[in-house]
Amino acid sequence: MNTIISGVPLTYYLTLAVTMFATGVLGVLLRRNAVVIFMSVELMLNSVNLVFISFSKAMGNIGGEVIVFFVMAIAAAEAAVGLAIVIAIHRHKKTVFVDEINLLKW
């Protein structure tokens, strides 16, 4: 599958998406700051959106673009709720590092 999208081969888009996704996974696994972890999750969602858009354009189907619309809406809601939770935890525990947050202990 060597489809050209706007003068750029599809493999370039997919390589960029894999790089973005791997960077997001590393951010989630290696960082301790909750805000950075949320940013890494957003980076992974955007890499998946890039794959959907790339294949949507390559195949000439609008279904991938519709899915991206819903993923972006869910990502915005996740960011708003996640940041509200981080702010609430910061007010209570005075930290945003996930190692130091132990709210489930008695």
For each of the domains in the chain, give its residue range(s) and CATH number, in order of start: 7-93 (1.10.287.3510)
pLDDT of residue 103: 63
The arithmetic mean of pLDDT across residues 65-71, rounded, is 94
- Give the global pTM: 0.83
What residues does 9 pair with on adjacent strands?
Answer: 4
Q: Which helix (H) or strand (E) holds 8?
A: strand 8-9
pLDDT at residue 20, as a whole number: 97
Mean pLDDT of 66-92: 90
